[in-house]
A and B are shown apart, each in its own frame.
Chain A
């Protein structure tokens, strides 16, 4: 158990809909990262938050947004869903967030299926 909690584990929805994925980092970790992993693909970095502020942005679509709350949990919002958004979405946390990221701990992921 990494200590990173993601909900929901599975989600099935229709095209055009909006969903929210939630992540609780390990106790004490200030950084939260979101990754997308499509079938048989590598992990694609979406966005990083550090102590409530956006720290780095990756290949995140404009239809997607995220935030980190004062209690350090994070939410990833996916809107106007398309079939191609079907993927595993992973959250990871680390204690650092600056130029030297500490060890990364991943959650078990949220599997999104868009029909």
Chain B
């Protein structure tokens, strides 16, 4: 069964600190992995999209890594800011859609709170 699991479920850090969010998936055949940021009550916004051959991708203070062998991804946030407080959602795309979710499998997200 295609699944995406994220950890931790929630995280509280102090402003200026770094943090790493995890995403493990069992999706086959793999097409790409995406990280989205969702502010409370707003629509998700894409941070990165990584294909099979990409190991690392950065977007400002966000760095995503992908290990296709172990089927793990991480999102590292550097020098956190109060505006980083949001849910971060890992989404994995399969080459062929299957099951009831089409070809995008969503994780439940990690809720990050950055405190001053």
Q: Which residue of A lies closest to B106 (CB)?
A: A43
Assuming A100-B93, A107-B43, is B100 touching A59 (CB within 8 A)?
yes
Q: Which residues of A, 1-50, contact B by the 8 Å Cβ criterion? A: 2, 4, 33, 41-43, 45, 48
Does the CB pair A104–B46 fall under 8 Å? yes
Does the CB pair B102–A58 fall under 8 Å? yes
Does the CB pair A108–B106 fall under 8 Å? no
Extra contacts besides A42-B107, A56-B97 (6): CB < 8 Å? A42-B108, A59-B100, A99-B97, A103-B34, A107-B43, A111-B41
What B residues does A59 contact at CB under 8 A? 100
Which of B41, B93, B103, B109 is the one whose CB lies under 8 Å from A42? B109
Q: Which residues of A, 80-115, contact B by the 8 Å Cβ criterion? A: 88, 90, 92, 99-101, 103-109, 111
Q: Distance in Å from the Cβ of B88 to the closest Cβ of chain A?
A: 12
Does the CB pair B43–A106 fall under 8 Å? yes
Using a CB–CB cutoff of 8 Å, the interface residues on chain A facing chain B are 2, 4, 33, 41-43, 45, 48, 55-59, 88, 90, 92, 99-101, 103-109, 111
Which of B42, B95, B106, B108 is the one whose CB lies under 8 Å from A109? B42
What B residues does A4 contact at CB under 8 A? 43
Does the CB pair B102–A48 fall under 8 Å? yes
Does the CB pair A45–B43 fall under 8 Å? no
* Cross-chain pairs A/B with CB under 8 angstroms, 11 sampled: A41-B108, A56-B97, A56-B101, A56-B102, A99-B97, A100-B93, A100-B95, A101-B104, A105-B46, A109-B42, A109-B43
What B residues does A105 contact at CB under 8 A? 46
What A residues does B45 contact at CB under 8 A? 2, 106
Most buried by A among B41, B104, B108: B104
Q: Which residues of B, 71-116, contact A by the 8 Å Cβ criterion? A: 89, 91, 93, 95-97, 100-104, 106-109
